[in-house]
Amino acid sequence: MKAAFLSLGCKVNSYETDALERQFEERGYEIVPFDEKADVYIINTCSVTNMADRKSRQMIHRARKLAPDAVIAATGCYIQAGGEQGDDRVADIVIGNNLKHELIDMVEEYCRSKASCNERADGDLTRVCDISRPCPYEETPISKTAGKTRAYMKIQDGCSQFCSYCIIPYTRGRIRSRDVDDIINEAERLAAAGYKEVVVTGIHLSSYGLELEDKSFNMKDYSPEIHHRLIEVLRGINRIEGIERIRLGSLEPRIITAHFLDELISIEKICPHFHLSLQSGCDRTLKNMNRKYSADEYFESLKLLRSYYPYAAVTTDVIVGFPMEDETDFEESMGFVEKCRFSMVHVFKYSRRKGTVADRMKGQVPEEIKTERSKKMIELAAGLNKEYCESFAGCVKEVLFEEEVIHEGIKYYAGHTDNYLKVLVCCDEAPDVHNRIEKVRLMTYIGDNTMVGRLAINC
């Protein structure tokens, strides 16, 4: 039996898809690319925006067209939000979040039913639980990932922030944390498989362990001094031989305190690359978004972080065209982003999501204005990225090499520095550097967070 997988959306989805692939491999399935003929297609869907919903539907339909007689299973956030549960459904099996560990048994149950009647089985299988209630962390371990040198490790699920624009608390449920021993065991397996870098991630990573402190924990009781469980995890990974880098996923700005940073900086394998989600630099918009900080509070966290990690890459997300954002608000957000001197900014046009508070807000911004503001913010972000990258021209940095790429007709080996600069070195100069960390002198910025360099021994 051949099985094909497709993951849409975030890195947590990618991690869970890797785990599903492992389960299918262990049952004897051959894993093939999604665009090839297969007996089973698994689509791990996303629902973070309306566009993500549309993409999820398209990929389910594409699988059906590729192989009309194949078993189509859809899982993930689009399913949890109600997708593929009407009369017009295309998937044979639909299964929501926190139940993905049941998927392979459901597929095989469906296949047995299908084989017995020699046609598409009757009685489509649907499993979607009420994820709004407290539930345990769903353990989906991996020993390898789709990445060749960098492994993503999911340690946390769910979110209890309820930002006014976000559907994720409804599709992923409340915060829940993975057992420390399970995390360390997985990191040891990844190290044994040759991975030198792990990226610790989750739906809301800064919430890791908070509900373990108090089962009745409420985000209203949030205190930035209660993150010792996350530090405990990072220390445990830091002790593993073979793991040379630990990169953190997106962090909540309020986690950045002197107490937290005093602990973090003592963990020597932590990469100086931090994603602090902003969303807007305008206080009025932040309040409408139900973010839990002001622009000034965010900036104080940023200054504190840079006092500990002066050359760190600090990346962020910004939404433009949020309901009631006028031109003054947008300019205020632009000015704040420029003031912060981010190394990279991921810019998103606000997308309405049914079921969220923001969808019901007055003052929805016309699409053409959102597009215009997005272009301006992207242009600013490109300038900030160029400035940050060029500040390292002439410096020697350690690069973990990952893959071969073609740039302007020339073959390069590409990798990343600890502060997440992408670096290209000509393959003629570096013929055998895959999954090795080498010192590189950075030379020239070529755009999109990328520098061309030379191996330091050749300079």
Cα–chain center distance at 244: 21
- Residue 429: the pLDDT is 84
- The count of domains in the chain is 3
Does residue 134 lie within any of the structural domains? no
Asked if residue 343 and residue 454 are part of one domain, the reply reads no
Does residue 56 lie within any of the structural domains? yes
* Cα 354 to Cα 367: distance, rounded to the nearest angstrom: 17
Q: Hunting for tokens 């908070």 — which residue is that?
A: 210
Cβ density class 381-405: b for 16+ within 10 Å, e for less? beebbeebbeebeeeebbbbbbeee
* Cα 23 to Cα 5: distance, rounded to the nearest angstrom: 12
Asked if residue 262 and residue 209 are part of one domain, the reply reads yes
Residue that terminates a domain, selected from 390, 405, 431: 390
**Model pTM score:** 0.91
- Residue 222: the pLDDT is 53
Asked if residue 421 and residue 352 are part of one domain, the reply reads no
pLDDT tens, residue by residue, 355-374: 899 999 999 999 999 999 99
- Residue 145: the pLDDT is 77
Mean pLDDT along residues 58-75: 95
Asked if residue 233 and residue 121 are part of one domain, the reply reads no
Q: Where are the alpha helices (DSSP H) in 49-202?
A: 50-66, 77-80, 103-117, 168-172, 180-192
Asked if residue 317 and residue 199 are part of one domain, the reply reads yes
- Residue 120: the pLDDT is 46
Asked if residue 93 and residue 14 are part of one domain, the reply reads yes
Asked if residue 447 and residue 378 are part of one domain, the reply reads no
Asked if residue 346 and residue 309 are part of one domain, the reply reads yes
What does the mean pLDDT of the chain come to? 91
Q: Check which CATH number belongs to the domain holding 297 and give it.
A: 3.80.30.20
Given a contact cutoff of 8 angstroms between Cβ atoms, the answer to whether 148 and 434 are in contact is yes
Asked if residue 385 and residue 402 are part of one domain, the reply reads no
**Range(s) of the domain holding residue 444:** 396-458
Does residue 374 lie within any of the structural domains? yes
Give the range among 148-152, 388-392, 418-422, 439-443 with minimum mean pLDDT: 148-152
Asked if residue 400 and residue 380 are part of one domain, the reply reads no
Asked if residue 80 and residue 42 are part of one domain, the reply reads yes
* pLDDT value at 219 more than 60: no
